[in-house]
Every structure is written in structure tokens, then in C-alpha cells.
Amino acid sequence: MNKFLAGGILRNLLAGMVAVVMAVVMVPVTAQDEKAEALKMDRSKILSQPGVFGIFTTYKWLPEWYELSLSERMDYVFRVMELIKKHEDSVLVDVYLTAGLGGRSDFFFRIHSLELAKAQTFLREFRQTAIGKYVEVLDTLIGVTKPLNYITKERVPELYSGLASATYTGDVPRYAIVIPVKKSAEWWNLSFDQRLVEMKAHTLSTLEYMGSIKRKLYHSTGLDDADFITYFETSDLIAFNNLLTSLASIPENKYHVRWGDPITLGTILGPEKVVRVLAE
């Protein structure tokens, strides 16, 4: 056979094989693929959009942890960081240090996910790690983010405007505070308009502190023993103390049957420092 003809036939065969491979690889994007893409954790979006599940889980080291060598502790902690990396497309994990700020706990996770089952999988795998065997779970809170219910643009335009325009101008926050809240049956049996009056007073008492305190609310009724999880970040703990004093003195406070119990205070650290401190 003419060598040029043979070469042409070979090229055609190779081209056909490539076409078949590409047809297999370049399958149409399915709804499942689109959903997987949507679950990727864009931090700015996940922390601002409604419909996101939040889990706060608090831990205390078992005495056996301190019997391990420093190299063993460092190795175990780095494995947890690898686990966080493994789940980064579906779960956003933040770690806070509480050791030294209270006798109950040493650290806590704040976990966000669009699917609660994804967060559950991460926590289950965390408990299966070497480090998971050396911690006691002290508390777990579960909630979900929702749009504003009371202070909306349509119902209270002026107050909504003040709320929307309030901007955090303080230093980079150093502390995180988690406060679970449960309302009484009397609160839930008020009419919506009566609750709106109370929430107007609540919001007015917080506006002056929004420049120095960040706040995020999670709804927990039916998901947890609490009704709400309030999460704060600040570098000004005096301002935070003043804020909570202000909230304690308004009529809405009489409808609380749980306010804290516990209040969890932790420091916000970068990943590298978290690793070092957790391993100490």
C-alpha cells in the first residue's frame, strides 16, 4: 500500500478515536452538576444569603489530649485542616478559640452549608479523626438564615433604611460571641403587629452599636431547643456589653425564657494560628 495512503488512513482512524473519546468526556451538564456547582462555598455569598444552615458545635479537650507529644498533636490538628479542605466545596468551616475565656470549652466550630446533610457529614467525619477521639462535645446549636421578618422596607421604611445603611467601621473583629435565645409561649401568641412594635424598639436600641459590632441571626425553632442563635463579632467588648445591657432593658426582654445559657465567647484567629494554638 502507498505509504501516503496508509498515513491518511491512520490519521482518519486516530481522528475517529479522538472524536469518540471527546463524545464520552464532554457529556451534557446535568441538573446534578449544576447543583454541585451551586454548592461551592463563596464566603461572601454564603454569609449574606438566606436559606443557609448554620451549626455551632463546642468542644472541650479530654485529659488524654495533653498526654500526647507536641508532634502528635500537630499531626492530628493538620489532619483536621485537611478534612476542612476536603469539604470546602460544600461546607464553610470557621474555628474559634475559647480556652482561657471560660471553663466549659476549648474551641468551637461555626459551620455553614446549603444542605444540612453536608454539614452533618463533615461533623461525622471530624468525630472519626484522631483528634475527634480526644474531644468532648459540650453543645450543638442548629439554625438557618432567613430574610428580615419584621423590619422590612415595606413595613418600616425609615427604620429599614437606617438598618440597611449601618456599616461596620471598627477594627478587624477579634472576638466572636454566640448567644442562643428562646422566646416564651406568650411571645408567640402575640399578634404579628404586637411583635412588630417590640421589634421596632429592639432595632432602635441596636442601631448606635452597628459601627462597632457585627451581628448575624439564625432561626432555630423546630431545629433546636432555642428559637434563635445570635452571632456577634467585635473588637470592642465594652460596646458589646453596652449593647446587651440596652437589649436587656427593653420590654421585649420579658418574653425571653433563655438568653445565653451558655454564652460562648471566643477569639477569631487565622488558620495558621488556630493550628498552632490547638496543638499546644
Comparing CA positions, the residue from 167, 244, 159 lying closest to residue 211 is 167
| pLDDT score of 16 | 43
Report, at the CATH architecture level, how domain 157-266 is classified: 2-Layer Sandwich (3.30)
Are 236 and 170 within 8 A, CB to CB? yes
Distance from C-alpha of 3 to C-alpha of 178, rounded to nearest angstrom? 78
The catalytic position among 79, 174, 215, 258 is 215
pLDDT for position 221 = 97
- The span from the CA of 49 to the CA of 43, in Å, is 10
pLDDT means per 10 residues, the chain with 280 residues, are 42 37 37 49 89 97 94 92 94 94 90 97 96 95 96 93 90 97 98 97 95 97 97 98 96 96 92 80
Residue 215 known to be catalytic = yes
How far does CA 22 lie from the centroid of its chain?
A: 40
How much is the pTM?
Answer: 0.83
What is the reported pLDDT for 39? Answer: 45
Domain segments of the chain as ranges: 43-144, 157-266
* Top CATH class, 43-144: alpha beta
Q: Do domains 43-144 and 157-266 have the same CATH topology?
A: yes
